[in-house]
Amino acid sequence: MQFENTLAFAKKMDKNDPLKPFRKEFYIPRVNGKDSIYLCGNSLGLQPKSVEKHVMTEIEDWRKYGVEGHLHARNPWLYYHHLFTKPLCDLVGAKKDEVVCMNNLTVNLNLMMVTFYRPKDKQTKIVIEGSAFPSDYYAVEQQIRFHGLDPKENIIELLPRKGEVTLRTEDIVATLEKHKDEIALVLLGAVNFTPGNSLT
């Protein structure tokens, strides 16, 4: 595909978008009387219209069975991670023994850093985007302290250039190159946190 920076090209891509029919499956917040352009996918996404029914199923089963819902609810809670495996595989393109749904994001982040952050000798620093989601930042600070190190000296923040809001790939690469002998871990989301959260 040849990208063109024009309105006509954007409209053409919208028209042929195979995911287009999914738009009507979501509630879209209105701003100044118009549907907002909702780009926030990494924090709280839009509410699917089907979600209320599914949440109510669990509320009803909780009321009906109490703790026995773990075994007798329509979706037995004890096995909830198995229930998510197939859709998660489809979503991320993985095999079923490669994914598991568990915990919340920050707990998982800490678990991953316990495994992958192994500061040794000069290689002690963690690279993270500046103005990252606060709990991501706190988790990074906590992991550094856990190893008896000072977060002030061991976090390298990636910042956009003056007057810009997104990180440039070449700047990320330059930072990694510059600090390669001190970096123990790079923690980067697929979406830049700050611009990924604007609601216009």
Stretch that binds ligand PLP, among 18-26, 87-95, 100-108, 118-126 (CB under 6 A): 100-108
Stretch that binds ligand PLP, among 12-20, 54-62, 75-83, 131-139 (CB under 6 A): 131-139
DSSP-derived 3-state class of residue 132 = coil
Which H or E element spans position 28?
none
Q: Does 141 bind ligand PLP (CB under 6 A)?
A: no
| Residue of the chain from 135, 142, 166, 198 that contacts ligand PLP (CB under 6 A) | 135
Q: Does 166 bind ligand PLP (CB under 6 A)?
A: no
Stretch that binds ligand PLP, among 27-35, 84-92, 103-111, 162-170 (CB under 6 A): 103-111
In the complex, the smallest distance separating the C-beta of residue 106 from ligand PLP, rounded to whole angstroms, is: 3
The phi, psi pair for 81, rounded to 5°, reads -65, -30
Stretch that binds ligand PLP, among 46-54, 130-138, 148-156, 177-185 (CB under 6 A): 130-138
The interface with ligand PLP within residues 26-65 (CB under 6 A) comprises 42-43
- Helix, strand, coil percentages (3-state) for the chain, rounded to 5, are 50, 15, 40
The phi, psi pair for 76, rounded to 5°, reads -55, 125
In the complex, the smallest distance separating the C-beta of residue 193 from ligand PLP, rounded to whole angstroms, is: 5
The length of the chain is: 200
Q: Report how far residue 193's alpha carbon sits from residue 157's, in angstroms, rounded to the nearest whole number.
A: 13
Burial of 60-97, coded b for 16+ CB within 10 Å and e otherwise, reads ebeeebeeebeeebeebbeeeeeeebeebeeeeeeeee
In the complex, the smallest distance separating the C-beta of residue 100 from ligand PLP, rounded to whole angstroms, is: 15
Instruction: Report the interface residues with ligand PLP, using CB under 6 A.
Output: 42-43, 104-106, 133, 135-136, 189, 193
